[in-house]
Structure 1
Amino acid sequence: MIWSFELLSPLQELKGHNGCVRCSAFSLDGVLLATGDDNGEIRIRIWSVSDGQLLHLCAPISVEEGAATHGGWVTDVCFSPDSKMLVSAGGYLKP
């Protein structure tokens, strides 16, 4: 949920995560929200703050395709200052 402090009510209900949401971060301009979960596989979702629409699903590479993106849950996400990149942290980092 995205809540309004002024209205003390939810602005948007974000639907799509089935696992526990471990982290979230707003872009610096407040337009985007990134959320990370641990639904068996690592999932990061990028949302539009204004309407709650899912804009992008960043899913890991499957075991069949190669090494997984993280070795555990996504524990943190952070946008670059220009919102063109997103860094995620979890189990371990891979090049």
Structure 2
Amino acid sequence: MQTRKVPLRMCSGCGEMKPKKELIRVVKSPEGVISLDTVGKKPGRGAYVCNNIECLKKARKTRRFERSFSCQIPEEVYNRMEEELEKGE
């Protein structure tokens, strides 16, 4: 039997490469709406972050998502993502 290759993605907060299933996808939809994608199936451009609030805050501080999506992200969107992460933990 062959072992399957595990897809790795980089966390936008801490910069560590981790298995895709351990990370949460942040997606920018074709309409331009930015949200958390807990299932990983939403259409659009994606970036990944660890499932903890500290990595999201680091990504917010360094503006990693704004670089990934090439757009300005309002504070309300970051606040909503933080609330969703806190509910999920």
TM-score after normalising by structure 2: 0.30
Q: Which has the higher helix share?
A: 2
Structure with bigger gyration radius: 1
Bigger relative contact order (CA 8 A; separation at least 6): 2
